[in-house]
């Protein structure tokens, strides 16, 4: 259970924050400041940041202090990720970031109600806790992690409910890259509305 105090508008639990390159999806290769929030109950077995799941393990940061850290860099984009960031009220955080002229990007499973003001929303639906149907219409980018063959049908089911301009990405789960990549390549060749997303940060050894 998340301590109610961490849901206050002026502070959020932060597992880590860092300035790097976006490694996935539409904004791949762009410089971005990442704020990884604590707290997640989606429960992906292959999650590579399981330490983020328990919000109480991570210190709360005042949003003004987070903004000060971002201002120390040349970042133009701030990515709010997790964990599952929508477990928290993100309105104040995104408003303050946008006041600084920063673009706010969200990475979410969509399993919780949308809060915050966003320039870009990457929705990555998970079978462990499906997204709220109403969140799909807000997605600028639908990114489906392919862990097994059934994930292609899962991807198509959600693609039916996003906007016509939403970018569609298939991304191999890192631990099953060799097995899933040939299937993804063949699938995209047959269904060219989809594009390939790779976790390039893992290849170039940046956070």
Residues spanned by the domain of 106: 4-204
In terms of DSSP H, where are the helices of the chain? 63-71, 91-99, 133-136, 151-159, 177-190, 200-204
Model confidence band, residue 7 (pLDDT cutoffs 50, 70, 90): very low
Tell the burial category of 74 from Cβ atoms under 10 Å away from its Cβ (0-12, 13-18, 19+). Answer: exposed
**Segments of the chain assigned E as strands:** 11-21, 31-37, 60-62, 77-81, 103-108, 120-123, 141-146, 167-172, 194-196
pLDDT for 48: 79
CA dist 135 and 127 (Å) reads: 15
The model carries a pTM of: 0.92
Instruction: State pLDDT tens for residues 108-127.
Output: 999 999 999 999 999 999 98
CA dist 122 and 14 (Å) reads: 20
CATH no. for residue 36? 3.20.20.70
Q: How many domains does the chain have?
A: 1
**Average pLDDT of the residues in 142-159:** 96
Model confidence band, residue 50 (pLDDT cutoffs 50, 70, 90): confident
pLDDT for 49: 86
pLDDT for 169: 98
């Amino acid at each position: 259970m998340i301590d109610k105090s961490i849901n206050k508008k002026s502070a959020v639990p932060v597992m880590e924050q860092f300035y790097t390159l976006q490694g996935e999806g539409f904004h791949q290769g762009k410089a971005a400041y990442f704020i990884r929030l604590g707290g997640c109950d989606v429960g992906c077995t292959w999650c590579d940041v399981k330490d983020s799941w328990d919000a109480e393990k991570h210190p709360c940061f005042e949003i003004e202090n987070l903004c000060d850290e971002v201002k120390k860099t040349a970042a133009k984009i701030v990515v709010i990720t997790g964990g599952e960031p929508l477990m928290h009220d993100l309105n104040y955080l995104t408003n303050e970031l946008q006041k600084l002229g920063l673009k706010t990007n969200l990475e979410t499973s969509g399993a919780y109600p949308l809060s915050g003001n966003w320039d870009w929303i990457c929705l990555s639906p998970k079978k462990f806790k499906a997204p709220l149907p109403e969140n799909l219409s807000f997605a600028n980018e639908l990114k489906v992690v392919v862990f097994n063959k059934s994930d292609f049908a899962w991807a198509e089911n959600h693609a039916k409910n996003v906007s016509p301009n939403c970018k569609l990405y298939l991304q191999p789960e890192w631990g099953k890259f060799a097995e899933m990549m040939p299937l993804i390549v063949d699938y995209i060749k047959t269904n060219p509305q989809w594009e390939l997303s790779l976790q390039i940060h893992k290849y170039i050894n940046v956070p």
